[in-house]
Amino acid sequence: MERIGSRDYTVGIVGLGYVGLPLLWVFHQQGFRVVGIDIDEAKIRALRSGNSYIKHFPQEQMQTLSRSQRCSATADFSVVHDVDAIILCVPTPLNLHREPDMSYIISTTNAIAPHLKRGHLVVLESTTYPGTTDEIIRPTCERVSGLRSGVDIFFAFSPEREDPGNPHFGTATIPKVVGGDGAEALAIADALYSSAIVNTVRVSNPKTAEAVKLLENIFRSVNIALVNELKLVFHAMGIDVHEVIEAAKTKPFGFMAFYPGPGLGGHCIPIDPFYLTWKAREYGLHTRFIELAGEVNTAMPQFVVRRTIEALNDRKKCMNGSRILCVGLAYKPDVDDMRESPTFVVMDLLEREKAHVDYYDPYIPTIPPTREHAAWTGRTSVQWRKDVISSYDAVVIVTNHRSVNYRELLAWSDTIVDTRNAMQGLGAAQEQIWKA
């Protein structure tokens, strides 16, 4: 505790992605020595050379880290022995059966366990099911190292709350929930995060902290599913769901606005709820409400494709052979993060209908390798030019990047399928815009 206060303390962060890299920066800015660990050698080279590989992580900050004597990066897990705290920020995806893929957590735990020493603090930040710290991380580390939790070594869980591209809240300004395996672990973890984060929120144990993150994202998933379902109902009735939401949110109490879309994207909302539904089966419980929300949200890309077919039919065109442009590959506006993006599903469905599909995204010039959409690897974004955009039979707005010139799009395309209400207020002709 004294060493944390005096900054005579080294923080090791495993996983230098959208969560780990900003966290590394925050601790470095507060005077800690930091060590970034990642199996991706490209990330290590980028950190060492000062080249940012994440759009919302500024190049200047990356260069500051690369020049700092208090920052290093490696793919060698043996450095764990030389740090004081190890924070795990590794992926927790779903497998092909929509069940938790714990391989990253398991492999990382196995990699750090041989190098643990007395006094180490081990914190998991990856979103997961309640019980992961108690059932996987602590037993593995104790068995391999021979150290005992709460006596020799300390464990905690503190869920990441990153919102890439959010101009109002960053890693240092979002309150941090912390749950420790015992009072001492909680005190140490709280002291560490309190030194770098605006505020900490203590909970009774890691399992509770793990449940907090799931509640946050399940809340969003269920409410988004509600407005997505209402969009379908109101569309059938000839009612604009966005107009309804804008009017409803004028009520100063009892209502919180959520917005429909083409499906859920990102690493959290499409995935996290299923970690709880999977774990609930162990207790003989079925999370019907959560699973129904998942079904509604997962079906939205099909509605987008149906609306695109209707738009083409109105122009006396057939989907088979038509050229379709999807605007926006990232899962949310103004970021380069395409994890679980519904655009991939929309493009797959359009191609299944025999359309020729391209995409435009100013933040993703080339599609890197992905686990679930390998067929799109290497495809490049088209150029934003009148002759290019006007050559498509229909344009589908899947992600509403603010940098896209929608007035130009309005002038260049006569058939626009708008899944994000991006064209609202631009004076488009009714027959030009198809809301989806």
> pLDDT tens, 398-420?
999 999 999 999 999 999 999 99
Contact 204, 221 (CB under 8 A): no
* pLDDT value at 267 more than 80: no
250-435 has CATH 3.40.50.720 classification: yes
Q: Who contacts 265 (Cβ-Cβ below 8 Å, separation ≥6)?
A: 330, 331, 332, 338, 339, 340, 341, 342, 343
In sequence order, which ranges of 372-415 are alpha helices (DSSP H)?
386-389, 406-412
Cα end-to-end distance, the chain, whole Å: 54
* Among the four given CATH numbers 3.40.50.720, 3.30.700.30, 3.40.50.10860, 3.10.110.10, the one describing domain 2-204: 3.40.50.720
pLDDT for position 165: 77
Amino acid at 152: D
The mean pLDDT of 28-42, rounded to a whole number, is 97
pTM: 0.91
Query: Which residue in the list 71, 268, 318, 326 is annotated as catalytic?
Result: 268
Residues forming a β-bridge with 327: 360, 397
- Tens of pLDDT along 159-197? 999 888 788 899 999 999 999 999 999 999 999 999 999
Cα–Cα distances (Å) from 376 to 69, 96, 266, in that order, read 40, 18, 18
Token representation of residue 4: 């944390």
User: Catalytic site residue 318?
Assistant: no
CB 395 within 8 A of CB 419: no
The pLDDT, as a whole number, for residue 373 is: 86
Token duo for residue 233: 């109902």
Q: What is the pLDDT of residue 94?
A: 87
Q: What band does 367 get if pLDDT is binned at 50, 70 and 90?
A: very high
Laid out side by side, the sheet with 416-418 consists of 356-360, 323-327, 394-397, 416-418, 433-435
Q: Calculate mean pLDDT across residues 189-218.
A: 97
The size of the chain, in residues, is 436
* pLDDT at residue 429 is higher than 80: no
| Structure tokens that stand for 72 in this block | 């290093």
Q: Where in the chain do CATH 3.40.50.720 domains reside?
A: 2-204, 250-435
Using a pLDDT cut of 70, give the percent of the chain over it.
100
Distance CA 344, CA 420 (A): 16
Confidence check: pLDDT of 266 > 90: no
Q: H-helix or E-strand containing 245?
A: helix 241-248
